[in-house]
Amino acid sequence: MSPTERVVPTLGYGAANVGNLFRQLSDDEAWAVLDAAWESGVRYYDTAPHYGLGLSERRLGAFLQTKPREEFFVSTKAGRLLRPNPAFDGGLDTDHDFFVPNDLRREWDFSEAGIRASLAESHERLGLDRIDLVYLHDPERHDLDLAVASAFPALERLRSEGAVDAIGIGSMTSHALARAVRAADLDMIMVAGRYTLLEQPAAEEVLPACRARGAGVVAASVFNSGLLAQAEPTRDGRYEYGGVPDEVWDRLQRIVAVCRAHDVPLPAAAIQFPLRDAAVRSVVLGSSRPAQVRQNAQLAALAIPEDFWAELAHEGLIPA
């Protein structure tokens, strides 16, 4: 894992939004978002076939082809193949929150042939000769046992052949992440929403397993569905796939109070918190607006006093 630990940049851009997540972007608008990330110093870019049925990979690849290959790190994902949708009737992929034509459909495939096909097709869409890291994407949503028996060994063979530099798992489910780390020889895991300023279930099993196995961690969804993206959260905000539970809101208000007392912007604390654990190598942030991308990069670099973190720990809001 040591080569990947050295080269994966601390701040990454999650490219689901340039695959038209939640709203449609033109090619020019998507390019402006990616350009804002690059100009802000972002050098890690994460994508997936799932994001916009390949649109994210195509747009990201077109952008990165204009940059020196040695200057950026790129990851994509495997496990879902994109195949023609025989039921296509001109509709959109809004069942998955992507505003793209649903002329393709996702087909789970954890076989070795399927994993190899996924990597080859991602290469084609990205137009890049090298992909640094491939995650198995949400395997618990299909068949975690099959992932352990087939998909991870296939990724390990691809890595040993030099087809990809590093392999891992991306998931928002702690038990799947912990099991994968223990069962496979993974370089990196992407923890989505399970190790954030607001909640840290991954601290119980996932991070200790990563330390024991030498796997690095990329923290994603650190704003908890947007709750932590504003200095003053609103009660009608979204949490996961619904409203904000009372106990979550109460905990968030305690965190906000500490932020106010130390004059620390809540989004800055949310971005920087995961990186305080030595296992976490990078934080990946997504946005569909160039101004937000630039602001996120500034917040990531903001100096936060150590006594702020000490008070959060004293209040039991983050691990000591």
Distance between CA atoms of 120 and 109, rounded to whole angstroms?
Answer: 14
Categorize the per-residue pLDDT at 236 as very low, low, confident or very high, splitting at 50, 70 and 90: confident
Provide the pLDDT for residue 240: 75
| Cβ neighbours of 153 (radius 10 Å) | 16
Active-site option among 51, 135, 195, 239: 51
Q: What is the mean pLDDT of residues 83-92?
A: 96
Categorize the per-residue pLDDT at 1 as very low, low, confident or very high, splitting at 50, 70 and 90: very low
Work out whether strand 104-108 and strand 133-137 pair parallel, antiparallel, or are unpaired. Answer: unpaired
Among 175, 166, 122, smallest CA distance to 148 is for: 175
Q: What is the mean pLDDT of residues 11-19?
A: 98
Percent of the chain with pLDDT over 90: 93
Distance between CA atoms of 222 and 218, rounded to whole angstroms?
Answer: 10
Whether 51 is catalytic: yes
Q: What is the mean pLDDT of residues 151-163?
A: 98
- Please determine, looking at this structure, whether the domain spanning 2-232+266-308 carries the CATH number 3.20.20.100: yes
Provide the pLDDT for residue 6: 46
| Cβ neighbours of 94 (radius 10 Å) | 12
Helical spans, DSSP H, in 40-199: 55-64, 112-126, 144-146, 152-160, 174-183
Cβ atoms of residues 280 and 196 within 8 Å: no
pLDDT, one tens digit per residue, over 293-303 is 999 999 999 99
Tokens, residue 50: 């799932």
Provide the pLDDT for residue 225: 84
Average pLDDT of the chain? 95
The H-or-E segment that residue 255 falls in is: helix 246-262
pLDDT, one tens digit per residue, over 163-176 is 999 999 999 999 99
Q: Return the domain boundaries, the chain.
A: 2-232+266-308
Counted residue by residue, the chain has a size of 320
Provide the pLDDT for residue 112: 98
- What residues contact residue 33 under an 8 Å CB cut-off, 6+ apart? 17, 18, 25, 287, 288, 289, 290, 293
pLDDT, one tens digit per residue, over 33-70 is 999 999 999 999 999 999 999 999 999 999 999 999 99
Helices and strands (DSSP H and E) totals, the chain:
12, 10
φ, ψ of residue 141 to 5 degrees: the values are -75, -15
Among 112, 109, 156, 114, smallest CA distance to 134 is for: 156
Work out whether strand 80-84 and strand 166-171 pair parallel, antiparallel, or are unpaired. Answer: unpaired
Please check the confidence at residue 5 and state whether its pLDDT lies above 50.
Answer: no
Categorize the per-residue pLDDT at 241 as very low, low, confident or very high, splitting at 50, 70 and 90: low
Q: What is the mean pLDDT of residues 226-246?
A: 86
Please check the confidence at residue 209 and state whether its pLDDT lies above 70.
Answer: yes
Categorize the per-residue pLDDT at 3 as very low, low, confident or very high, splitting at 50, 70 and 90: very low
φ, ψ of residue 212 to 5 degrees: the values are -65, -35
Please check the confidence at residue 279 and state whether its pLDDT lies above 60.
Answer: yes
Tokens, residue 229: 């993206």
pLDDT, one tens digit per residue, over 126-151 is 999 999 999 999 999 999 999 999 99
Looking at the DSSP bridge assignments, the partners of residue 80 are 108
Q: What is the mean pLDDT of residues 221-240?
A: 88
Q: Which amino acid is at 65?
A: Q
Provide the pLDDT for residue 82: 98
Q: What is the mean pLDDT of residues 151-162?
A: 98
Tokens, residue 200: 């840290």
Distance between CA atoms of 39 and 210, rounded to whole angstroms?
Answer: 32
Listed in order, strand segments (DSSP E) in the chain are 11-14, 44-46, 73-78, 80-84, 104-108, 133-137, 166-171, 188-192, 216-220, 280-285
Distance between CA atoms of 154 and 152, rounded to whole angstroms?
Answer: 5
Listed range (47-56, 82-91, 198-207, 237-246) with the worst mean pLDDT: 237-246
pLDDT, one tens digit per residue, over 252-275 is 999 999 999 999 999 999 999 999
Residue with tokens 């097709």: 121
